[in-house]
Amino acid sequence: MSIVVTGATGQLGRLVVTELLARVPARSVVAVVRDKAKAADLAERGVELRVADYDEPETLAGVFAAGDRVLLISGHEIGRRVAQHTAVVTAAKAAGVAQLAYTGILGGPDAGLVLAEEHKGTEQAILDSGLPYTFLRNGWYTENYTANLAPVLAHGAVVANAGEGRVASAARADYAAAAAVVLTGPLDEHLGRAYELNGDVSWSFAEYAAEVARQSGQEITYSDVPAATHLEILVGAGVPQPFAEILVDIDEAVARGELAARGDDLARLIGRPTTPITETIKDALAAS
């Protein structure tokens, strides 16, 4: 039996593998990647590499084995993900894996975001397969915002159409730790479970702007704009129209309260408080 992580060279995947190596021997961990060269560092740590591509179902044959515990990390190619994920589900079913964990979205079938539709489709495909599953419904990564600090600092403004809505984000490493717990803990504790994962403390964009200002020493304001205006700003800054529309839709979901806290599943799984936004901002500023 192996613990198999798909998308293992992505930002979340690498963190999950690191968390797993702190818990189990490297020989127990398998990283599924598209390019072995990008995973050379994982191989050096004793992780087995298997090459496969979500877009090429035939490459998934033999990637999984009976009894494996598998983490399907959702792809990033919006519009193609249900087909991609279903190919993994089919291969996992054929192999007879003991657990298929999937990184979905906070709220699961109740989520109202456009971005949630492919996650809903994937969860349904997993349910239809009859595979033993665990749904990791991840909330927002704080890094979704701190990775975009350069224009915030350049213009002195956080721009959004989220009103006074709040985001209960957590650090990406927090979600990775939760995935590792689910993949290494007793199966009977996690099978058939859907975890709603979010940070312990929610924040508003005004509070986020104030904290960036405090830590950077610059004047940073929160500019709450209408959705149509925000869309124009994003497209004008070079963001492709379809992706800009998704970002605007996310802010509208924030305004509706969809990304606020839904409980303490994340902190309970990792056995500690989630990473405060202040720490993630500090790290991002230090790296900028």
Q: What is the pLDDT of residues 130-178, one digit of tens each?
A: 999 999 999 999 999 999 899 999 999 999 999 999 999 999 999 999 9
99/192 Cα distance (integer angstroms):
9
75 near 9, Cβ under 8 Å? no
Give me the domains of the chain, ranges plus CATH numbers. 3-138 (3.40.50.720), 144-166+200-261+275-287 (3.90.25.10)
pLDDT, residue 288, reads 83
pTM of the model: 0.96
Q: 33: which strand partners?
A: 51
Task: Tell me the sheet residues that pair with 32.
Answer: 6, 50
Longest CA–CA separation in the chain, Å = 57
Report the distance separating Cα 61 and Cα 273, nearest Å.
39
Pairing relation of β-strands 157-160 and 221-224? parallel
What DSSP designation does 63 have? T
**Residue-wise pLDDT tens digits, 55-96:** 899 999 999 999 999 999 998 888 889 999 999 999 999 999
The one-letter amino acid at 166: R
